[in-house]
Amino acid sequence: MAKAAPAEQLKLLELQGFDAKLTSLANRRRTLETDPRIKDLEAALAVANGTLGSAKVAVHDAEAELKRAEADVEQVAGRIQRDEAKLNSGTGLSKDLVALQKDIVSLNKRRSDLEDVELEVLERLDTLRATQAGQQVIVDVIQGSFGGIRAELDAALAEVAAEATEVKAKRDDFAALLEPALLAVYEKTLAKRGVGAARLFHGTSEASGMKLSPGDLAEIKAAAADDIVFCPDSGAILVRSDEWNAAAPAS
């Protein structure tokens, strides 16, 4: 059985205090890193960006459609201009001039129809652009919220990291003062059990929170004061205080 002076074993409680603080800080860091607000905002931002992307595609398509409509109107207007110039010149056979007049009438009707299409596309484009602008505002708001929360969490994480660095330095300085053999047992127990050491107080293990059985207490009582004993439930080193086996005071 490994041994260490009772006074040395008692120091393990302070070392465990440092490790418990480091564990608490690690848990705090994980909580900050998995803040549900970030996940919710990421999901909302993905949806908003998807909707914004669809709105941009719709605007792009409508702009292309408007260009085609404008080109059609311009093409017909050009034909009308050429035909009117030819008609106004008065040259040619009368039947050709009559046919030219009919063609101009037909072309004007065609241009009117095309201008109606152009106007409809333009109105639809205005609506789509307004939708895109509105969706962009939604994306900007979500990104703003995301950035604010991210900055808040980053600041908190920086505080946790700074405190952990400070506690770790104090812990290492303190650990260096312990007997190497005792420290090795503690470190191995901590790595395996998650708790390195705890008090045995009034017959109760503070590692497990459980009152030890009479048989376990008898076994510990039979151990020498410098023997290193372990909690039968948690596996942690049990540091025996002067009153470790005394009955708990009446409440």
Say yes or no: 42 and 145 in one domain: yes
Q: What is the pLDDT of residue 1?
A: 66
- Per residue in 66-103, pLDDT (tens digit) is 999 999 999 999 988 888 888 777 676 677 778 878 88
Say yes or no: 118 and 199 in one domain: no
Residue stretches of the chain with pLDDT short of 50: 248, 251
- Per residue in 4-24, pLDDT (tens digit) is 999 999 999 999 999 999 999
SS (H, E, C) 18-81: HHHHHHHHHHHHHHHHCCHHHHHHHHHHHHHHHHHHHHHHHHHHHHHHHHHHHHHHHHHHHHHH
Identify the domain boundary among 161, 187, 215. Answer: 161
Q: Is the dihedral of CA 69, 75, 77, 79 positive or negative?
A: negative
In a domain, residue 1? The reply is: no
Q: What is the pTM of this model?
A: 0.70
Q: What is the pLDDT of residue 83?
A: 80
In a domain, residue 62? The reply is: yes
In angstroms and rounded to an integer, the radius of gyration of the C-alpha atoms of the chain is 42
Range of the domain at 88: 35-161
Q: Please give the tally of structural domains in the chain.
A: 2
Say yes or no: 96 and 190 in one domain: no
